[in-house]
Amino acid sequence: MTGRFITIEGIEGVGKSTNVDFVAEHFRVLGETVQVTREPGGTPMAERIRDLILSANRDELSDLGELVLMFAARAEHLESLIKPALERGETVICDRFTDATFAYQGGGRGLDPAIIDNLRLAVQGALQPNLTVLLDAPIEVSAERIAGRAWQDRFEQEQAEFFGRVRAVYLEIAAREPERVKLIDASQPLNTVQAAIKAELDRI
Ligand code: TMP
């Protein structure tokens, strides 16, 4: 595969959407064909799975069911969108990917990372993002933004301790894989955050 696969990660409210757009624009200006997508979701079927997950009440869906649905959505997304685009040599920018599963289902829900890793291997084999931008901020920043939302999905309804565990796993992944995962302090002003992201994009 000749394309480039870039993922953006972080807890809610750290400015992922704004920075996904920023990364996409960076590569468009370079003349690359860019696919901007997200997980769970990105294809019609995966978006239906996303709706199922995010609209489920806490007691309607088990933690294991949630994990498997995340990978079901990912399998569809990989087969119909991500892999074909990478094979055509395009740049794929994805708002969240498998690091989110380790962080939310592993850290947040407390599921065994070995089970997650088995599913990862079954669904994506050796495919990994070329670069992952991890936007990190204290959970208070995220809690404040979520509190202002009229409707809160299955994850947004979780408490601070949940997001503390999610954030801790993200930071562990960044420490373990510093070549792939670039940790950016998202509590800085937006132009400082974007200058830091740009420096990483320029390197690849
Ligand atoms: P978002 O599109 O607003 O980021 O919402 C997606 C939610 O799904 C978010 O709360 C994180 C969660 N999520 C997981 O729990 N596991 C995953 O593997 C992915 C991709 C997302």
Q: What is the full DSSP assignment across 81-130?
A: IIHHHHHTT-EEEEE--HHHHIIIIIIIT---HHHHHHHHHHHHTT---S
Whether ligand 1 lies within 6 angstroms of the CB of 77 is answered as no
Q: Give the model's pLDDT for residue 159.
A: 84
Ligand 1 pocket residue status of 66, Cβ below 6 Å? no
96: Cβ below 6 Å to ligand 1? yes
Q: Tell whether ligand 1 has an atom less than 6 A from the beta carbon of residue 101.
A: yes
CB-CB contact of 169 with 103 (8 Å): yes
* Type of residue found at 174: A
Q: Which tokens belong to 44?
A: 């019609």
Q: Do residues 25 and 38 touch, judged by C-beta distance below 8 A? A: no
Tell me which residues of the chain have a pLDDT lower than 50: none
Please give the angle made by the CA atoms of 196, 136 and 106, to the nearest 5 degrees: 135
Question: Using CA atoms, how far apart are residues 177 and 10, in angstroms rounded to an integer?
Answer: 15
Within 10 Å of residue 75's Cβ, how many Cβ atoms? 17
- Alpha carbon 48 to its chain's center: 18
Please work out whether the CB of residue 100 comes within 6 Å of at least one atom of ligand 1. Answer: yes
State whether the beta carbon of 74 lies less than 6 angstroms from ligand 1: no
CB-based contacts of 56, cutoff 8 Å, min separation 6: 66, 154
pLDDT tens, position by position, 173-203:
999 999 999 999 999 999 999 999 999 999 9
- Does residue 119 contact residue 67 with C-beta atoms inside 8 Å? yes
Compute the Cα dihedral for 148, 154, 157, 159 and give only its sign: negative
The residue whose CB lies within 8 Å of the most ligand 1 atoms, and thus the one to mutate among 11, 68, 104, is 104
pLDDT at 170: 98
The ligand 1 atom at the shortest distance from the C-alpha of residue 16 is 4
Q: What is the pTM of this model?
A: 0.96
Rg (CA), the chain: 16
CA of 40 to the centre of ligand 1 (A): 6
What are the pLDDT digits (tens) for 19-29?
999 999 999 99
